[in-house]
Every structure is written in structure tokens, then in C-alpha cells.
Amino acid sequence: MTQTSPQQPNQEKNIDIKNNNSSSMNGVANNSQKSFPNNNGKPSVKKDQETGVIPWWQNKSLRFKMTTTAITLGVVPIIVVGTIISIAVNSSFRAKIEKSERGETRFISDTMVSKLNETYLDVKSMAESFPESADFLNRNTVKLTEQLNVIKNTYQFYDSVALFDSQGNVIAQTEGKPLENHLNRSYFQEAIKNNGISISQPLISKVDNVFSIYVVSIIQNPQTKERLGFLRLRIPVAKLGQVLTDAYKGEGKSVYLTDGENKLFFSTQGEFQNGKLTSGEKANTETIKSVNINEVFKNLKWEKETEEAQSFIDYNQVQKKQQLIAYQPVKTELDKINLGWTVLISEDVDIALAPVNRILSYIFFGIVVSGAVVGYIAYLLAQQLINPLEKTAKTIKKISEGDLDVEVEVIGNDEIAVLGKNINEMTTQLRSLVIEQQLFASQSTLLKNITLEMTKAFNVNQVFEIAVTEIRQALQSDRVIVYSFDETWKGTVIAESVDRNYPKALGAQILDPCFAGNYVDKYVKGRVQATPDIYKAGLTDCHLQQLEPFAVKANLVAPVIVEGKLLGLLIAHQCSSPRNWQSGEIDFFMQTATQMGPALERVILLQNQQLDSFLSGKLKDISFKIAESLTQEKIFEVATEMAREALRSSRVIIYQFDEDWKGTIIVESVDPQYPKALGANIKDPCFADKYVDKYKQGRVQATNNIYTAGLTSCHIQQLEPFAVKANLVTPIIVENNLLGLLISHQCDAPRQWTESECTFLSQLATQIGPALERIQLLSKQQASELEQRKAKETIQQRALELLMQVDPVSSGDLTIRASVTEDEIGTIADSYNATIESLRKIVTQVQGGTRAVTEVIIEQEGFVDNLATEVIRQAEDINVALEKIQTLAFSARTVLDNAEEAEQAVKRANQSVEEGEVAMNRTVDGILAIRETVAETAKKVKRLGESTQKISKVVNLIGSFADQTNLLALNASIEAAHAGEEGRGFAVVAEEVRSLARQSADATAEIEKVVAEIQEETNEVVKAMESGTEQVVEGTRLVEETRASLTNITAASAQINQLVAAIATAAAEQSQTSDDITETMSDVAGISNDTSNTVQKVSRSFRKLLKVSENLEQSVSKFKVN
């Protein structure tokens, strides 16, 4: 549709000629204005008429009066008569139609009443037959069930028949779920209240959820009127509806039944359950929702007090149609039973009143045709009757009023004809001038208004619609279009305003192969192309074939420039005939196209801002959703679904690569009307070499049209099966590796991807990478936790096995060895083995030590006993010596009295002294032997104390092991508690280990106590030994002193013979010395007694030590070391 004619210079010359003609016409117009100096002033006659009392009728033209009078006299009677006929026919036919509707409603109501009466009589006759039935009186359930089944099968109207006793308990029933007590059911109570029969409102069975009507009759004793039971019949609403549909076959009409609460329970469209159960409870409102008839017909006004059918017109809220409604209350003739039901029939007003509307349309058509014919005839008569002069006067009047388009009809060659010709010439000149001035003013105003309206637009289409609509109105052209180019300069009509008499061009796509090379630069520079006649402009046949389908005769083309780029062309078409475009029109057209550029730039900027804001919000939402996702599949699903929603594209996919850079579509969100690409495998042999590094660097590839983007045929063939027209590709980078591509497809048409959309998809792909890294880290963490849990379970199992292996140790079996493995438990097992081996060696040493101590004690016990005997004998000898010394002292005292016997006494004294010296020597030897024995015993006792200290260290070591084992078991219990149910078994094992550890600790404490007692008693023995040693040393010293004294005595006795003479003199001194010797010997006897007591204590200590050693040996013997 663009202008490609080579005759541009001639056309531009034509435009200049038009401008010159316009100038000359302006001069003529000025002269004309001088001839009519007061164009606004009217003749004084008209002013007088306007201010006078002449009626309005007198101010009208003769033509108006004649034509109006003729048309009025001919048309008004026809309209009046036609209106009266229409009202009468409408009232009559509508009344008949509504009466017919009410009659049908009465028929359905009578059918319902008849069926209810029939049911009433059925249940009454059935109930009267049972009091005389032996089966009923004898409660023969089998027979009664057979009878009830016969009733059900015979009538085929009741789907359940049941007999109840007087307390409402079921006696017999037809097939179905067993019934519970019904005495408290509303319809049973109603029957009791009526003392006869009741018919319930439609209810939902609590047993099998069947929507039904229940008929109950009391079974009475005919004589006593005693209530014997109940007979209950159940009528499914569907069965009742079937009766109605069988009886009434109204086509195109809907029948409704309402219950006593005006709730629908049946219609020809199906059941309407009212939400009430037979038990009186409310049904589940989520699955069952009752519908009130007033919700269907809001203006329905009930008149139930009358039995006559009523009709009215209302809007059906369900079917969304205006309908004629007739309703009739169902008045039963049954005793004490008034169900309050209503029958309604509805029919679309268009269908119900179609006959009336057809008749009224015929009448209206007759009135219009008759009026038109009469008016036309009157008009022709007026034309013929009015004088041609009046035509001329009317024309002049219009010219004076500024209507320069009229011309005086010139008939003949008389003076009036000449005047008419002159007036017409003058009018032509004035018209040219005024048209140009008005066109310029109106175009300026219109251009301002168009510019203002375009600045108020919020999208590009609004700008285009405003432009084409206003321009076509301003230029009075037949069509104005906006012709937009794509990247290949193929044009599409994206906006159009066209006269309805000419074909539409909206959406048409036209490719001019010469346009890009010859005309783009010219239009960018502002070229405006005016073609008065396309057939005389030298256009090519191809170009003419593009224009002829749209009936184009002339066109006007101006460029639409946005941001320095040619967006498209603004084109005006004249289709009725060729058109000589005026310079003012061309200027206006060009200025309007120029103003479209800034308006489009503002709208595009606003749309981009809105799109940026929208996509930013969507990206934020997607980021939150991705952050909440815990799996890769969820991340991909959120990204593709929400990205497609945000971009409003046809498809969004994730295209993942394998190690060979072969891609697979693993996730897809696609519009259902386009083929699915999920699972498709696509390999681009050039991808690895040319594009991997680019995409790793963040490349975003936007392809607006795959057919014009220079893609290879192979690549296009990969895209065509999925109906791709345009795509947008961004990389997904995970840990600096290209995982795949996030791709958006447009399938309905090519698409110009905006920078905001490219940035949005790129940022979304950037969000996916860290999210996937987070998921991978989480997966690794979960795998590590699983591995740790398995390792922990393995350790727990190995610990349990270790505990089972070393459990005999708690019984004293030190020969046990734990299995050594390469894990941590193996290290502990090895430590256990080393500890048990050390404990075994220590126990072996303790056993050997206790045996050695026992042997030493047993061996030394004889020496101690001999020592005690010797000490006792020594004491006796000392006592004998003491007696002898006392005797010697007595003799010394009596020396003065018996000097003669001195020599004999000296001899006896010498002999006694010698014997005493021998006894002293034996005493000294015995004391020395005791000293050596006590010292040796003390050393052995000390060694026994050292052995018991070693035992104490071993016991402390065992106690330390027991405490560590207890601590490990406690930690294991805590870990098992953290593990929850999975660690419950290990917690039990850990508790057993703690128990064994506590037992080991108790046994260790007991051994430690025994060892402490042994050490304490050993220390006492050592102290006793040391004390005995000191006493022996002291006794030895005293014995030495005594022996020295005895030596002196011996010397003295040797000198007695020489000193006999001096006996008298020395008698007193001898007596004193004898007393000293007696005292000393007494001390020696006391020391000897103390020594004897000490030796006895040592003997007792040895026996006690022997007992302790035996106890220790018995305790140690519990340990198994071989």
C-alpha cells in the first residue's frame, strides 16, 4: 500500500500548482468579502419577524410548510390506527398465552394432586389390611417381607416399603440397608398427630442418601383404635418427577416443584436436594446446597391464599433469561394434610410471546411502509407545487447563512436561470475560500485535540485508534490505516478506521520487495506521498494488485517516526473515487503523523516502565517461591510456570545439556493449544564450539522471528514441530558450569522482545543457579547425615557386640578377648583387651602375693609360737634368778649374823652367778632371735602392704574403666535419645552397659574396701612389730646390763675369799647392792612379761593377717585368669 511510483517530481509539481491555485482563490475570497461586508448581519425584515408576534409557523419556508402538511395528513392517521391495532392485538394474544400457561400449570397441579390422592388411598388401604393379618400380629418377618416386596414390585412407584411396631422399631422391610428406629422422625410424629396418615416434605435418606418423599400411615385396631404400628412408603423424587414428565410434554418449557418452604426439590433439569435429612439434621452444605425459588425468580410474589393459577414475567437467575412464569399451588383434598407445594412453569419470553412479536412486527412494518409511501407521495407533490423561485430564494438564504455547498438549480435560459448561474459561480469562489479557511482552522483545532488525546493514551493501540479515527473524520476519507513494519520491512495493517461500505484491511500483511531499498531512507527523512489517482500515478501492476482488493482509488502516505526509526506509515485511502489532495490536508496529515511519534514514545516509555515494575514484582515473587522450594523439580516448575505467566508467552522450557552437549527438555510450561515439547532430545552440532563459552559469560539471545533471524534450516526444522515463531534464551549457570538454557517461546506470531523481558528472564535464570546450588548442598548434607547415621548405627552395633563380648568380665572371667576391627570400636576393643590383660596379670600377681603371704604367715607362725614359749621360759628363769638373788640378798643381810657360813655362801653364790650368767646368755640369744624374726616378719608384712597397694592401684584402674564405661554408656543414651525411635534399641543396650559398669564399680569398691582393711591391719601389724622390736631392744639392753652386773658379781665372788675380812664392813653396801639387783631383776622380769605379751599380740596379728590374706585370696580367686 506504500507509494512506489517513479513520478514523484510531477506529483510534487502538482502540489505546488495547487498551492498557487489556493493563493488565487484566497484573493477571490477577499474580493467576495468586500462585496458582502456584513455577512453576519441579517436583513431587517427577519429581525422584525423575530421580534414580532408572527407565529413560528410563519417563519418556516413554503417548502417546509407544504411538505410537512402533506406528510402529516397522510402519515399521522396511519400511525394512530396502527398503534391502536398493535395495543389491542398485543393485549389479546398475551392474555391468551398467559391463560394457556396457567392452564398447563393447573394440569400439572391436578396431576400432582391426583397422584398424591392415589398414594393416600394406597397407604390407607394397605394399612387397613394389616390389623387382620395373622402374619402381622405374629410378627412373621419372612411373610411380611414377601408381602412388602409384592407391594413394591406391583406399584413400581415406591422404592422402599417398611412395617414398624408401635414404638417405631422395624418389623419388616423391602431390600435395602436395615432401618433403625423411626419413631422420632418428623413424618412419624405428624402421622401420630393426625392419628392417621402423613406425607413428608422431600427429605434425604440418612440410610442411603436417596432424595425421597415419605408416606406414613398408622396401623390401628379397627375395634379399639389402638395403635399397632406404622406402614411407611417411600417415593423417590425422581419417580414423582417421572410421573410429571410423562404427563406433561411441553417443549422448551421448564417445570419446577417447590416444597412448603419454597425450596426447589424437582425441575425438568433434575433434582434440587433441600439439605434436610430424614433424621432432622442438616446435610453436608459443602456437597448439598438447597435452592430457594426466590433465588431463581427474585420478583416472585406468592399468592398462595388463592387456588387460581397466576402468571407474570421475571428474570431467571439460573438460565440468565427473561421468562414468562405461571404457578399454581398444589391443593390436596386429603384430611389434615397441606403440603404447601407449588408447581411453576417457565418459558423464555422470546419463545412464549413469539406469535405476538411476529404480529406486532408485521403491523409495525405495515405502518412504516404505508407512512413511507404516503410521505414520499406528499413530498413529490410538494416538489411539484413549489415555485422554482422559492428554490432560488432558499438557496440564496443558505448561502447567506454560510452554506456554500448548495447550488441554484438552473432550468432554462430565462433571467432566473442567468441569476442562478451567477449565484452558482459566486458560491463556488466563496466555497473554495471558506473551505480552505475552515479546513485550516478545523485541522489546527483537530490536530491539537488529536495530540491531546494521544498524550492521554496508555497504550500504543489507543494512540493508533485515536489517530485513524480522528484523521478519517477530519479528512472525510474512506479509510485511514496504520501500516507497521517488521524487521524485514514486511508490513501489517495494525489499526484501521474504514467506512462500512468498503472492505476492511485490518490485519492484512503486504510485502513490497522494493520498499527497503528505495523508500525507507526517504520516509525516515519525512517524505509525504500524495497519490490523487492510483491508476494515473504510474504504479506497478504488483502494487496495484495490492491496493485493488481494498477498493483504493487515491491515497496519502506519511511516515510514523519513533526514536529516529521508521515504525510504519500512516495512510489515508479514498475509495469512492480519485481525490485531489489539498495542501492543507497534506500538511495536517503530515503534522498528525509527526505528533504520533512523541505520543508513541511516551506510551512505549510508560509501557516499559509498567512492564519493568510488573516484571520486578513477578521476579520478587518467583524468587520467594524458589527460595521456599526444596527440590530441583519444584524450582524448575515454579520458574517455568511463573515465567510464562509473567511474560505472557506460549511456552517456557528448561533445556538441560549432557556431557556431549546434547540437550533434553526436562521441564515445560505450555499453553494447551500448542504442542508439548517435554522430553524432546535436540542436538546442535555447532553448539559446543560456538555458543557454550558465550552462554557461560551470560549471553541472552532474543529472536523476534525465527524465519528472519538468519537461523540455519536445521535449526528452524528443530523449532517448527513446536510451532515456535520467536524465542528468548538465557543460560542457567550452576557452580560456573552451564547446566542448560531457560527458553521462552512465542508460538502464535513473531514477537518483539523488550529489554525488560530479556533482563527479567536473565535475572530469573541467575536466580535458578544459586537455588540449584543450595539444593545440591542440601542433598549432600542430607546424604552426609544419612551416612553419619549409618556409621553411627554401625558403631552402635559394634559397641553392642563389644559389650556382649566383654560382658563375662563382669563375672570375673579375665580370659575374654574382644574382636579387634579397624574402626573406632576396634580401638576401644583393643584398649579393653589390653586393660583386661593388665588386670589379669595384676590379679595373677595378687593371687601369687596372697599365697606367698599365707605361706610366710604359716611358716612364721611356728617361729612366733616358739618365740613365745622361749620368752615364757626366759621369764620363768628370770624369776628363778630373781628369787635366788633375793635369797642372796637375804644372805648378805645375814652375813653379819653368820660369818662362818660366808665361804659356803660365796660358793653357792658363785655357782648361782654362773647359772644366772648362763640363763642371761640364753635370754640374750632368745631376744636376739626374736628381734631378727620380728624384723623379718615386719619386712614381709611391709611387702604385703606394698602388694595390697598394687592391688589398690589395679582396683582404682578398674574403677576408672568402669567410670569411663559408665560415661560412654551415658553419652550413648543421650545420642540414642536424640535419634528418637531409631535409637531406642541402642538406648536399651547403653542402659545395660551402664548397669554392668555400675556393678563393676560396686565390685571394685568392695575390693577396694577389703584391700583398705588389709592395708590398715597390715599397718597395725607393722606398728606392733616395730613396737615389739623396740621392746626387744630395750630388754636386750637391760639383759646386757644384768649380765654386766652378774659379771661384776662373778668378780666380786672371786674376791670374796680375799675380802671375807671386809664382809662386815661391806655388808651394808652388799645389802644395798642386793636390793638394787633385786629391783633390776624385777624390771627385767617385767620386761620379760611385756615381751611375752608382745609376742602373743604378734601371734594374734599373724593369725588375723592370715585370715585377711585368706579373704583376699578368696576374693581374687573369683577372677578367671587361665
- Which grid cell sits at 1063? 664382809
Report whether pLDDT(888) > 50: yes
- Chain mean pLDDT for the chain: 75
- For residues 535 and 554, what is the distance between their CA atoms, to the nearest angstrom? 9
Three-state secondary structure of 244-280: HHHHCCCCCEEEEEECCCCEEEEECCEECCCCEECCC
Q: State percent of the chain over pLDDT 90.
A: 2
The pLDDT, as a whole number, for residue 49 is: 46
pLDDT bracket for residue 744 (50, 70, 90) = very high
CA angle 917, 923, 924 (to 5 degrees): 90
1061's CB contacts (< 8 A; 6+ apart) are none
Q: Of the ranges 498-512, 515-529, 1099-1113, which one carries the lowest mean pLDDT score?
A: 1099-1113
| Phi (first) and psi of residue 582, to 5 degrees | -80, 155
Element (H, E) at 737: strand 737-746
What single letter denotes the amino acid at residue 532? P
- For residues 656 and 642, what is the distance between their CA atoms, to the nearest angstrom? 19
| Phi (first) and psi of residue 1054, to 5 degrees | -65, -30
Which of 525-534, 593-602, 627-636, 782-791 is modeled with the greatest confidence? 525-534
The pLDDT, as a whole number, for residue 4 is: 41
Q: Which tens digits make up the pLDDT trace of 1064-1098?
A: 566 666 667 767 777 777 777 777 777 777 777 77
Taking residue 152's Cβ as centre, other Cβ atoms within 10 Å add up to: 19
543's CB contacts (< 8 A; 6+ apart) are 4, 512
Q: Of the ranges 348-352, 382-386, 545-549, which one carries the lowest mean pLDDT score?
A: 382-386
Long-range CB contact pairs, 213-217, < 8 A, 24+: 213/237, 213/240, 214/185, 214/187, 214/278, 215/119, 215/120, 215/123, 215/187, 216/123, 216/187, 216/188, 216/190, 216/191, 217/123, 217/124, 217/126, 217/127, 217/191
> Is domain 629-783 in CATH 3.30.450.40, yes or no?
yes
Q: Taking the C-alpha atoms of 313, 315, 320 and 324 in order, what is their torsion angle to the nearest 10 degrees?
A: -10
Report whether pLDDT(214) > 80: yes
- For residues 567 and 559, what is the distance between their CA atoms, to the nearest angstrom? 8
Report whether pLDDT(102) > 80: no
Report whether pLDDT(726) > 50: yes
Residue (of 576, 586, 594) closest to 556 by Cα position: 586
Fold equal for 1-39+408-610 and 629-783:
yes
Mean pLDDT, range 810-819, rounded to an integer? 74
Q: Which tens digits make up the pLDDT trace of 617-660?
A: 777 777 777 777 778 788 888 888 888 888 888 899 888 888 77
Which of 34-38, 135-139, 343-347, 574-578 is modeled with the greatest confidence? 574-578
pLDDT bracket for residue 774 (50, 70, 90) = confident
Do 739 and 656 form a contact (C-beta atoms < 8 A)? yes
| Phi (first) and psi of residue 505, to 5 degrees | -110, 0
The pLDDT, as a whole number, for residue 575 is: 92
* 981 DSSP 8-state letter: G
Report whether pLDDT(28) > 50: no
Q: Which tens digits make up the pLDDT trace of 750-764?
A: 888 888 888 888 888
- For residues 599 and 975, what is the distance between their CA atoms, to the nearest angstrom? 73
| E-state strands within 526-620 | 529-531, 554-562, 565-574
The pLDDT, as a whole number, for residue 33 is: 39
- Which grid cell sits at 750? 513473531
The pLDDT, as a whole number, for residue 548 is: 86
Sign, CA dihedral 345-347-352-357, equals positive
Q: Of the ranges 121-130, 527-536, 864-873, which one carries the lowest mean pLDDT score?
A: 864-873
The pLDDT, as a whole number, for residue 16 is: 40
Do 990 and 938 form a contact (C-beta atoms < 8 A)? no
Mean pLDDT, range 153-167, rounded to an integer? 88
Q: Of the ranges 145-159, 184-198, 740-754, 1011-1025, which one carries the lowest mean pLDDT score?
A: 1011-1025
pLDDT bracket for residue 64 (50, 70, 90) = confident
CB-based burial label for 299 (10 Å; 0-12, 13-18, 19+): exposed
821's CB contacts (< 8 A; 6+ apart) are 798, 829
The pLDDT, as a whole number, for residue 973 is: 65
- Taking the domain 1-39+408-610, which CATH number applies? 3.30.450.40
Q: Which tens digits make up the pLDDT trace of 244-292?
A: 777 776 666 778 788 777 777 777 766 566 556 766 566 565 555 567 7
Taking residue 596's Cβ as centre, other Cβ atoms within 10 Å add up to: 28
What single letter denotes the amino acid at residue 334? L
**620: Cα within 13 Å, side-chain hemisphere:** 6
Q: Which tens digits make up the pLDDT trace of 387-417?
A: 666 777 777 777 777 777 777 777 777 666 7
The pLDDT, as a whole number, for residue 745 is: 92
- For residues 273 and 1013, what is the distance between their CA atoms, to the nearest angstrom? 96
Residue (of 340, 112, 338, 104) closest to 242 by Cα position: 112
- For residues 135 and 560, what is the distance between their CA atoms, to the nearest angstrom? 101
* 1070 DSSP 8-state letter: H
Report whether pLDDT(59) > 70: yes
* 807 DSSP 8-state letter: G
In the chain, domain spans: 1-39+408-610, 94-356, 629-783, 840-952+1018-1116
The pLDDT, as a whole number, for residue 8 is: 41
What superfamily in CATH does domain 94-356 come from?
A: PAS domain (3.30.450.20)
Mean pLDDT, range 957-970, rounded to an integer? 65
Mean pLDDT, range 30-43, rounded to an integer? 40
End-to-end CA distance of the chain: 116
- For residues 928 and 916, what is the distance between their CA atoms, to the nearest angstrom? 18
- For residues 997 and 807, what is the distance between their CA atoms, to the nearest angstrom? 10
Mean pLDDT, range 337-364, rounded to an integer? 75
Higher pLDDT, 54 or 158: 158
- Which grid cell sits at 411? 432550468
Mean pLDDT, range 207-219, rounded to an integer? 85
